[in-house]
Amino acid sequence: MRRAALAIVSTVAALVMLLSFKTHSVSSSRPAAIGAANTGDGSATGGDSGSTAPPSTATSTHAGSTKGGSSSAAKTYTGDSTDTQWGPVQVQITVQSGKITKVAVVDYPHGNPRDDEINSYALPQLVQATMSAQSAHIDTVSGATVTSDGYLGSLQSALDRAGL
Amino acid sequence: MSRTVSRAVTTLEAPPRTRYVEHCMGTVFSVDVRDRGEWSAAIDDLVDWLHRVDEVFSPFKPGSDVSRLARGELRLADADPEVRTVLELCAEVSATTEGTFTALVDGRIDPTGLVKGWAVERASALLRRHGSANHAVNGGGDVQLAGEAAPGRPWTVGIVDPNDRTRVLTTVEGRDFAVASSGPAERGAHIRDPFTGRPAAGLAGTTVVGPSLTRADAYATAAFVMGRDAVRWIAGVPEYAVLAVFPGGATVASRGWPPAGR
């Protein structure tokens, strides 16, 4: 069981890494502001490890241009739910002043003790990898071929929408 | 073939950036144009190009030219003319890599190891024809870079640590260059040694830098198969450099690494 959890964790971390470092090269092809504005950092982080309820995301896709200079207010973007071999996974990121300030998995496979382990361990890695990408000034990333399956699509779509 | 991503393009005020992502060939292609302007027509062409490559070259599509060639149902003379172009490039790379790279898998034509890099390099050329001198096209981790990231600032490419994919092992800076990586990290042990028929297992990953992504992509695969010998081999290939990463974390690079000030 633990092995399975670790496998998931490493997959999560790998995909997040690829995505997070790719934020500079990934498109904002479908700009869509989804969900409510995040009010702050401290109080919101508690939800990362516990809540299993997917938020009701009202998908409002507008094909215009995204923010130019009005990005100082925190905004939350939710990716499409993507089926992985473990079940549906959905990722949400919060962006403030053009930087990712928070990454959360809002939906993930339930009904198994390993879920708790994933959430207590993978999420900090998600955030850490994303944050370090933000400070690295990397334009794009090279690595062994990325597949478009699974979790990748979910976080990627969130990042695409954030337009980073 | 349904496109999962809308083709709308967002252009930000400053700095000028147009970004676009397309899922194709089982991977993700990211386009990042750093020139001012309206690039939706160029990106439409680019997307059409990628899907055309997939239709012609995919070994997973029974109706592709490559699949039909492999089954003996199509003659090369009757295939899409790009097939001949790619097979000639495969022959060139096979010679350069002393047979380590091959487009023959179990006696069947399969140029997959070169097609993605080639498609990305051609996509970059397509953007240049549309007037973009500064852009990055990334095909699932293989990148062709044109011009620079911003006036006076070269592109910075992070290289994933194949032993810990949450980390960037190192970065490479440059202008007008290509970076390709190879390894089993995401797709499992998919790279076979053509001389033994077994999965190559000596290295955790390789990254090759050079002017052409077509070659860099194939060279990275060949270098992965060669293992430790890759460094010595690439010393004889002008303009290309390799970084090889071992499973324990040790790295070895060819003399041309890191490629400075391209």
B69-127 pLDDT, tens digit each: 989 999 999 999 999 999 999 999 999 999 999 887 777 778 888 999 999 999 999 99
Asked if B101 contacts B221 with a C-beta cutoff of 8 angstroms, the reply is yes
Integer Cα distance of B186 and B117 in angstroms: 17
> According to the model, what pLDDT value does residue A32 have?
26
Residue B197 lies in a domain: yes
Which range among A68-82, B122-136, B226-240 shows the weakest confidence by mean pLDDT?
Answer: A68-82
Q: Is B261 contained in some domain? A: no
What's residue B248's pLDDT? 85
- pLDDT of the residue at A100: 66
Least confident segment among A43-57, A62-76, B130-144 = A43-57
Total domains in chain B come to 1
**Would you tell me how many other CB atoms lie within 10 Å of the CB of residue B75?**
9
Confidence of residue B251 (pLDDT cuts 50, 70, 90): confident
Question: Please, what is the angle between helix B213-226 and helix B112-129, to 10°?
Answer: 160
Q: pTM surpassing 0.80?
A: no
Residue B55 pLDDT class (50, 70, 90 cuts): very high
Determine the distance in angstroms separating the CA of B28 from the nearest CA of chain A, rounded to an integer. 6
Q: Which residue of B has its CA nearest to A148?
A: B27
Residue B215 to residue B186: CA distance in whole angstroms: 21
| Residue of A26, A66, A162 whose CA lies nearest to B22 | A26
Q: DSSP readout, A59-103?
A: --B--S---SS---S-EEEEPPPEEETTEEEEEEEEEETTEEEEE
Nearest one of B104, B77, B97 to B182, comparing CA atoms: B97
Residues 48-67 of A with CB under 8 A from B: 61, 63, 65-66
Least confident of A74-88, A108-122, B177-191: A108-122
Residue B180 is part of which domain span? Answer: 6-253
Mean predicted confidence (pLDDT) in A49-62: 31
B151 belongs to a structural domain: yes
Backbone angles phi, psi at A46, to 5 degrees: -60, -30
The beta-carbon neighbor of B168 closest among A21, A29, A128 is A21
The residue among B211 and B108 whose pLDDT is bigger is B211
pLDDT digits (tens, 9 = 90+) for A36-51: 222 233 222 223 333 3
Whether B248 maps to a domain, the answer reads yes
Q: Tell me if B15 is assigned to some domain.
A: yes
What CA–CA distances, in Å, run from B153 to A139, B134, B149, B170? 11, 11, 6, 18
Torsion angle defined by CA atoms of residues B32, B33, B38 and B44, in that order, rounded to the nearest 10 degrees: -50
Tell me which residue of B201, B158, B170 sits closest to B183, measured CA to CA. B201
Length of chain B: 262
Within a domain: B88: yes
What is residue A147's predicted lDDT score, i.e. its pLDDT?
57
Quick check: A89 contacting B, CB < 8 Å?
A: no
DSSP H helical ranges for chain A: 2-21, 46-50, 114-136, 151-162
- In sequence order, what are the beta bridge partners of A45? none
**pLDDT computed for residue B258 by the predictor:** 74
Instruction: Classify residue B259: in a domain, yes or no.
Output: no
**Token reading at B78:** 């009757």
Q: For residue range B159-205, list pLDDT tens digits in order.
A: 878 887 666 778 889 999 999 999 875 444 556 666 666 666 689 99
Q: Do A137 and B11 touch (CB under 8 A)?
A: no
User: What pLDDT is attached to residue A111?
Assistant: 55
CATH number, domain with residue B100:
3.10.520.10
- B68, with CB counted inside 10 A (0-12, 13-18, 19+), is middle
pLDDT on residue A8? 38
Is residue B194 in a domain?
yes
| CB-nearest partner of A14 from B138, B142, B165 | B165
A61 contacts in chain B (CB < 8 Å)? 6
pLDDT for residue A139: 77
